[in-house]
A and B are shown apart, each in its own frame.
Chain A
Amino acid sequence: MPRVDRRLKAAGGARPVPTTVALREIPGMVDRWRIDPIGAMRVPGIVFASDRLLPQVAEDEALQQVVNVAALPGIVEASYAMPDVHWGYGFPIGGVAATDVASGGVVSPGGVGFDISCGVRLLVSPLLSDELAPRLEDVMDALDVAIPRGLGRGGVWHLDDDRHLDVVLREGARAALAAGLGTERDLARCEDDGNPSGSDPSQVSERARERGLGQMGSLGSGNHFLEVQAVDQIYDAEAARAFGLSLSQVCVMIHCGSRGLGHQICSDHVRVMLGAMPRYGIALVDPQLACAPVDSPEGRAYRGAMAAAANYGRANRQALSAAVRRVFQAAVGTGDLALVYDVSHNLAKLEYHQVEGQARLLCVHRKGATRALPPDHPDLPEDLRAVGQPVLVPGSMGTSSHVLAGVDPGGAFSSTCHGAGRTMSRHAATRLVHGDELRRQLEAAGIAVRARSIRGLSEEAPIAYKDVDEVVATCEHAGLARRVARLRPLGVVKG
């Protein structure tokens, strides 16, 4: 590709603020583009994109949001955009930004997102896809009944009262274990051992608690799902072995987050920070970027509430895993589904990273991006240390998902993509494909579908997303992660 500046103009139409952002290819780097600092930007923007993905990256306001994030106080190195980046609110979805705590760096609830600790977990069964095939419809019917989703209250784990909720907010997935919903091995295969530190339930509002109390162990709606899958390609045999993955093995992937509780916490603390920003002399172009210094009263309050919501999210996925195990036990005689890993892709974490040759304590925001620790990282469990952290990348509905692993040195503060990344609005998708037709297409491809909303199906049609194979290949070429295995869907449970 020639080393030329490209003027990429965000699509206009009905979208506000058509924006021109100049991207410059970085010499000697693969699939890596730079936005030079202009205006209020304190650091450059760095965009990871292949030639095929680049036009989609520039289609909406995502690049302008990369620029806006680069103005956050205390931001270091760059405002990063993963290959699956798309238009969010405040931060782009697929954005990574780290701020230096000792230099007045800020924490931004919008940099985490509404669905705090939204993430993915992958379970593997001892069954092969051929063995499951005669019972697949039975399993899907049972999951359809067992997995609460959609609108309103209801979950697989009933929390007795506010005190019980407090235990969940402090202990995360560990609290689910105490209720018989998992094993110690599950915790070892969760980011943060399923129990993020720093939780302060006193910073969780009454309204957030009310929303969370009745939704523990539920999927939600939108792009959240539970999928039965099979391993259909292995790229890295050693890592696949360490993760417990082998060809044709049946897996279950769960994508969900902290439900109404996490959303309410984000809303509450954005409001607090909007009020506090003038006191800290912070002015930003987008109010959804509201922030406060990490070590300020507002910053500490948010981080305590965020960790509480992260614990809720981990417990939620743990509770759903227990429901899946019960279904498999009843339907196919084995509920022995081992956890490969559980990752968050909406979180801010305090981590040490090298910045200009010095180890600095940073607040790393990953909004629609996944942590990807390299091999030998001390935070990895012993049995994964040689190969690096598993990264779980769901594809769009009906397409492949991927398992990646962290690499050394990696990039963007050990981060990589989180999914396929939308390219099309929900309504545009519904105009192109009807839910019933999509269901027929999926079933013709051998994929069983259990959906609460037919329109919801069409909104999540694969045509609305980037090509996930291209996204993960770009992550590999750009040195963010490496491919370990590809998973193909057998059945989808949607809200």
Chain B
Amino acid sequence: MGDLTRAHETSTGPAAADHDVVVGHRLVPHTADCIIEAWGSDRPSCLMEALYALVEELAEVPDTAASRLMPLATELRGANDALVSLFEDVIYALDVFSVVPVRFHLTETESGGIAGDMEVVPVEQAVLVGPVPKAVSYHGLSMIQGEGGWRCRVLIDV
């Protein structure tokens, strides 16, 4: 993540817009599932923050765990659609390849899509700390650009 300042929260607190940090994420209470809010200076950094929040809710991985790369990309240009697509790709990888992502590398493509990869480790190297994410809901979904960068909010079914 370079030298960007990041903020991580796991509780109710001031709204994302109140933070004076460039990138970060937090969890917002939801009775049954999990709402992620993330923010970043650009769209890829905002999306990566949201994805880090997803993984942090799921598992802890030792720094020493061996990782390999898997592609992660979407050509969808709608901001919400791109977010849903990337989250669904990660959830698919959890279910089908039994891997846990530990690092994301995403950039914007010339055509307006998002492209990159994720470093993943076998699930056996991770310690499960929370319920497994299984789907992305459209309820309250938003991914918007404001003065300070991008912000998103997404409800994950667990």
Contacts and interface: CB of A to CB of B under 8 A. Distances in A.
Interface string B81-105: 0000000100110111010100000
A152 B94 contact: yes
Interface in B12-27: 12-13, 15, 27
A153 interface: yes
Contacts of A274: 138
A326 interface: no
A411 interface: no
Contact of A15 (B28, B130, B132): B28
A210 B31 CA distance: 30
Contacts, number: 133
A425 B10 CA distance: 12
A425 B132 contact: no
B128 interface: yes
Interface stretch (A283-291, A315-323, A351-359, A438-446): A283-291
Which one of A93, A151, A210, A220 has the highest number of Cβ atoms from chain B below 10 Å of its Cβ? A151
A334 interface: no
B69 interface: no
Given A13-B12, A270-B138, A426-B34, A152 B95 contact: yes
Nearest to B29: A425
Contact of B28 (A14, A215, A431, A452): A14
A424 B12 CA distance: 13
Contact of A90 (B32, B132, B135, B139): B139
A267 B136 CA distance: 7
Given A89-B155, A114-B157, A215-B95, A459 B12 contact: no
Nearest to B129: A455
A455 B130 contact: yes
B2 interface: no
Interface residues of A, number: 54
B11 A427 contact: yes
A224 to B, nearest CB: 9
A288 B32 contact: no
B128 A214 contact: no
B19 to A, nearest CB: 14
Nearest to B92: A207
Nearest to B96: A210
Nearest to A286: B139
Contacts of B32: 86-88, 93, 223, 422
Contact of A459 (B27, B95, B126, B130): B130
A183 to B, nearest CB: 31
B146 interface: no
Contacts of A423: 31
The bracket for how many chain B residues form the interface is 35 or more
Nearest to A261: B95
B65 interface: no
B62 interface: no
Contacts of A452: 128
A300 interface: no
A260 interface: yes
B33 interface: yes
A423 B30 CA distance: 9
A267 B128 contact: no
Contacts of B98: 151-153
Contacts of B12: 13-14
Given A267-B135, A455-B130, A495-B131, A260 B95 contact: yes
Interface in B22-73: 27-34, 58-59
Contact of A150 (B91, B96, B132, B158): B132
Which one of B10, B33, B34, B58 has the highest number of Cβ atoms from chain A below 10 Å of its Cβ? B33
B59 to A, nearest CB: 7
A222 interface: yes
B29 A151 contact: no
Nearest to B128: A453
Contact of A86 (B31, B88, B123, B128): B31
Contacts of A220: 132, 134
B123 A151 contact: yes
Given A150-B128, A215-B95, A274-B138, A15 B88 contact: no
B140 A16 contact: yes
A385 interface: no
Given A214-B96, A267-B136, A89 B131 contact: no
B139 A287 contact: yes
B132 A221 contact: yes
Given A13-B12, A267-B88, 11 more contacts: A89-B155, A151-B58, A151-B59, A152-B98, A153-B98, A210-B96, A221-B131, A223-B32, A426-B130, A427-B27, A427-B29
Interface of A: 13-16, 60, 62, 86-90, 93, 110, 114-115, 150-153, 207, 210-211, 214-215, 220-223, 260, 263-264, 266-267, 270, 274, 286-288, 290, 422-428, 431, 452-456, 459, 495
14 contacts: A60-B31, A87-B30, A114-B157, A151-B128, A214-B95, A221-B131, A222-B158, A260-B95, A287-B139, A288-B137, A426-B34, A427-B10, A453-B130, A456-B129
